[in-house]
Chains A and B, each alone.
Chain A
Amino acid sequence: MSTNVANLLYLVTIVTFILALHYLSSPAHARRGNQIGAAGMLLAIIVTWVRIGTTSWWAIALGMLLGGGFGAVAARKVKMTAMPQMVALFNGVGGGAAALIALAELHRILPEPGAPKVDISLAIVLSALIGSISFAGSMVAFAKLQELIQGRPITYPGQQFVNAALFLGSLAAGLVLVAGVQQQWLLWALVGGSLLFGVLFVLPIGGADMPVVISLLNAFTGLAVAASGFELENNVLIVSGMLVGASGTLLTLLMGRAMNRSIANVLFGAFGQVTVDATAAAEGAGGGTVRSASADDVAVMLAYAHKVVFVPGYGLAVAQAQHDVRQLADLLEAKGVEVTYAIHPVAGRMPGHMNVLLAEANVPYPQLKEMDEANPEFSRTDVAVVVGANDVVNPDARSNQGSPIYGMPILNVDDSQTVVVLKRSMNPGFAGIDNPLFYNPKTVMLFGDAKESITRLIQDVKAL
């Protein structure tokens, strides 16, 4: 196959990827788009296979079988609640592959006499650097989400300095390589430094900020792949990598905006440490009283309401209560209650996390309301049921300038007649910030595991 024919076929692949993203504009045909993209990927693999010819075909086939087999099994078996870590994992391996390609290319061109072309070696260095950071960072994100290591920020004195030194050191090693100094140890310094930086850079970021981190790492892998495209002079890698880079960047910005925090603050602020301020705030608000209710009280409220809004948060995912919530909603709808779900953009551990969980529980997607759509509705809502959400409904974000989350747009559940908060205990939420919503006279608390509480509510509503 000539290079021109191959490049034209790669162009077809590029078009299928663009269509895949285009079809994601509506849930009605999004799945078709994904299939078109997969077909395009298959085409690119076949074209590459034919171009390579018979060299090492068995090694390539074996590698594909191993990796593809693992990917297929992992993707089929994973629970929807574990989706964020699965996305982090697949993101990481992509970045890792880009970094390895850079290593092999560098190894190949270094012994050649004369300095390599600057743009090629720059691309190699960038994809090694970004790919390694993405790989290591995604693995740490995976471990945090899988709760292999603690989700709370891990900090130590001088952390920012160490991180900055590591990053600049790796970059410097890379630039010296580009300048034509052909030393193997520079290569290892580059890779080792950026791997370590990836680990240390994600470690201090708390679980609640994971949506931002995952989007950012997604963008990194895209950029690393685009850089691989420059290395190998391959258009399909450049365009696809850059599409992903643009997507990840846009999502990162959207998540930052949804929290009203700069990306720098998310990445370097180690948000979610239990600080002295938070304790002071808790004492200040602690004067109010908390009303606790029994499941049958809440069941009566729900069954005789006109409109009920569920507000899911990460606690819903942890308790795996999405199916039970759906069942409760069905029962209420059968009694003539209007039920919707209000979804905060950063609820959960990745962008859009709650939507996927509720879709898994067969909630029709027109019932899932975004924040802008949901907020005006609360004033005509009888009962808002907060399931495992905390910071995204914290009124301090509107009114308390001293609060760490001040300025973050929230779901105004306190506009509704009654707020029911399902919560394990009175412990402050992830960020260690007290929530005045719990002391609001409109609010009743239903303590216990979210799944058990919902199951009790289902029984009590049935018994009415």
Chain B
Amino acid sequence: MSHGTLLVFEVTILVLAIFLGFEVISKVPTLLHTPLMSGTNAIHGIVIVGAMIVLGLPHKDTFTWVVGFTAVVLASANVVGGFVVTDRMLEMFKKREPPRPVDPSRNGNPE
């Protein structure tokens, strides 16, 4: 594939991603806007792929080495922190809390 063809192809998926993003995200209720922010934060942690590619380049000089290494550290913090925080938040959203632990055992007892 020529460079120009590749570029057109990339721009195509970029534009489609914009519309897809608006479509999917407009369905997220305000209740979940904070997890949406931290969830999308985790998703942009995909930049780790780029950081790995840079640090994995053969024959790199010290500058590239240092910059790539820092990028991997930052991106890993982004990925792990993003997904863990989002998970912690979403775990808390419950419809009804389970009945009090003492209740079920006492219910059967006569007054």
Out of A49, A62, A108, A215, name the residue touching B64 (CB < 8 Å).
Answer: A108
State how many angstroms separate the Cβ of A99 from the closest Cβ of chain B.
9
Known pairs A48-B52, A60-B72, A68-B79; A359 contacts B92 (CB<8 A): yes
Contacts of A226 in B (CB 8 A): 14, 17
Count: A-B pairs, CB below 8 Å: 371
A356 touches B77 (CB 8 A): no
B30 touches A345 (CB 8 A): yes
Q: Which of A318-345 touch B at CB < 8 Å?
A: 343, 345
State how many angstroms separate the Cβ of B46 from the closest Cβ of chain A.
4
Size of the B side of the interface (Cβ < 8 Å), in residues, is 81
CB closest residue in chain A, given B3: A117
A27 touches B30 (CB 8 A): no
Residue A293 at the chain B interface, CB threshold 8 Å: no
CB closest residue in chain B, given A49: B52
Out of A27, A48, A243, name the residue touching B17 (CB < 8 Å).
Answer: A243
In the bound assembly, the distance between CA atoms of A305 and B104 in angstroms comes to 30
A68 touches B77 (CB 8 A): yes
Q: Which of B35-50 touch A at CB < 8 Å?
A: 35-50
B93 touches A97 (CB 8 A): no
In the bound assembly, the distance between CA atoms of A22 and B1 in angstroms comes to 33
Out of B27, B37, B53, B96, name the residue touching A232 (CB < 8 Å).
Answer: B53
A364 touches B94 (CB 8 A): yes
Contacts of A74 in B (CB 8 A): 77, 81
Out of A35, A49, A247, A368, name the residue touching B25 (CB < 8 Å).
Answer: A247
Known pairs A87-B38, A91-B41; A352 contacts B95 (CB<8 A): no
B81 touches A90 (CB 8 A): yes
**12 residue pairs A–B, Cβ–Cβ below 8 Å:** A21-B36, A24-B35, A34-B42, A63-B55, A78-B85, A104-B54, A104-B63, A236-B49, A243-B20, A355-B30, A355-B33, A365-B31
| Interface residues, chain A, with chain B CB atoms under 8 Å away | 13, 17-18, 20-22, 24-28, 30-31, 33-35, 37-38, 41, 44-45, 48-49, 52-53, 55-57, 59-60, 62-72, 74-76, 78, 80, 83, 86-87, 89-91, 93-94, 96-98, 100-101, 103-105, 107-108, 117, 119, 214-215, 218, 221-222, 224-226, 228-248, 250-251, 254, 343, 345, 350-353, 355-356, 359-360, 362, 364-366, 368, 370
| Interface residues, chain B, with chain A CB atoms under 8 Å away | 3, 6-7, 10, 13-14, 17-18, 20-22, 24-58, 60, 63-65, 67-97
Q: Which 9 A-B pairs have the closest CB atoms?
A: A246-B21, A67-B76, A352-B33, A71-B81, A63-B72, A52-B56, A71-B80, A75-B84, A351-B33
